Amino acid sequence: MKAAVCRAFGQPLVIEEIDLAAPRHGEIRVRLAACAICHSDIIYAAGGWGGTLPAVYGHEASGIVEEVGGGVTHVQPGDHVVVTLIRSCGHCIECTRGSQVLCEAVFPLDERSPITARATGETLVHGLRTGAFAEAVVVDASQAVAIPQDVPLDVAALIACGVLTGLGAVTNTAGVRAGEAVVVIGTGGVGLNSVQGAALVGASPIVALDLSPDKRAAAVRFGATHAFDPRDADVAAHIKAANNGRLADWVFVTVGAKAAFDQANGLMKRGGGVVVVGMPASGVMGAYDPGWLASDGQKILGSKMGSARIRIDVPRIVDLYRQGRLKLDELITGRYRLEEINEAIASVVRGEALRNVIVF
């Protein structure tokens, strides 16, 4: 089977034949239908987070279960599934308190990649615990959730990371309530889901900040009540004007840029919070004044993968989509074959795409 392999950071991915080990106990093999390109894949492939090469990245995927290992009961061959990078044991202290994204267990797949290069037999890194820039994956069964067969699989792939992350930051991590004022910095494939999550829970106003006029326009289509260029010197004044003289209850930073983190601290009201959703490259540092944070009773929260509990969140997202209350089709900018993956990535890097999806 084919995969797009990263052999050198910053260089185009290489389409190669690979082999996958059979799923072992607790693991499944999924024939992929689609894998969207997330900024995390791009940062890895550019070398921004280091790591070992060669590697197969890709983690925002969907497909059909082909084979299950022993002990797997919640999915079976033929099931349509969303495949995520969230691997959880279900019984460690973090899983027990509902933080599956922070699971403490070490899995066999953490210690041996199932992917080998057919030509040389060398082991390829199972990137982002998934290796989904490939026609099939072997993952831990906990990473997959079955979905109804009438949900298009290219749309379903988006749920695995961008939708879970953006929506979950609002509904799970922050627990935004009706009437609270929300600012979303960065309205690409993740931020638009924070915008539509804020709209779903009744936040008001919902202010989108993005450098791109196209992405600001998209944010308004997804439920933003206001949209501004973050370079506008009067952004804080605009937010106050929209919110009865106050800054935001919640500021979601969905991009990894230092400028965005720095700006966010100045946009939350007394008692408000900043939620860090986007992942910067290693070494990006932010600054805040702790005295000011204490005296204004503010908070800064990290949101890993939208604090998702995938067996709760994925079916909820699917239901909202099927009711027409959540836009997913509109998130897809382009569909590409695996052989075209470097073009798909380049278009994301140029800021042209909400989500580009590889379809198999």
Q: What are phi and psi of 43, to 5 degrees?
A: -65, -45
Rounded Cα–Cα distance for residues 36 and 359 (Å): 8
89 binds Zn ion (CB under 5 A): yes
In the block, tokens 């499944």 appear at: 28
Helix (H) or strand (E) holding 157: helix 153-158
146 binds Zn ion (CB under 5 A): no
95 binds Zn ion (CB under 5 A): yes
Residue 129 near residue 87 (C-beta atoms within 8 A): yes
Binding segment (CB under 5 A) for Zn ion, from list 158-166, 203-211, 310-318, 336-344: 158-166
Binding segment (CB under 5 A) for Zn ion, from list 84-92, 136-144, 257-265, 322-330: 84-92
- The minimum distance between CB 152 and Zn ion, in angstroms, equals 20
State the amino acid at position 323 in one-letter form: Q
State the amino acid at position 228 in one-letter form: F
Q: Which of 14, 46, 105, 236 binds Zn ion (CB under 5 A)?
A: 105
SS3 94: helix
Residue 308 near residue 172 (C-beta atoms within 8 A): yes
- The minimum distance between CB 234 and Zn ion, in angstroms, equals 33
Nearer CB in complex with Zn ion: 32/38 = 38
- The minimum distance between CB 302 and Zn ion, in angstroms, equals 15
Q: Which of 161, 255, 267, 332 binds Zn ion (CB under 5 A)?
A: 161
Nearer CB in complex with Zn ion: 61/274 = 61
Residue 355 near residue 37 (C-beta atoms within 8 A): yes
- The minimum distance between CB 91 and Zn ion, in angstroms, equals 6
In the block, tokens 């991915």 appear at: 13
Binders of Zn ion in range 2-41 (CB under 5 A): 38, 40
- The minimum distance between CB 133 and Zn ion, in angstroms, equals 13
State the amino acid at position 92 in one-letter form: C
- Residue 14 tokens read as 């290489």
**Residue numbers at the binding site for Zn ion (CB under 5 A):** 38, 40, 88-89, 92, 95, 103, 105, 161
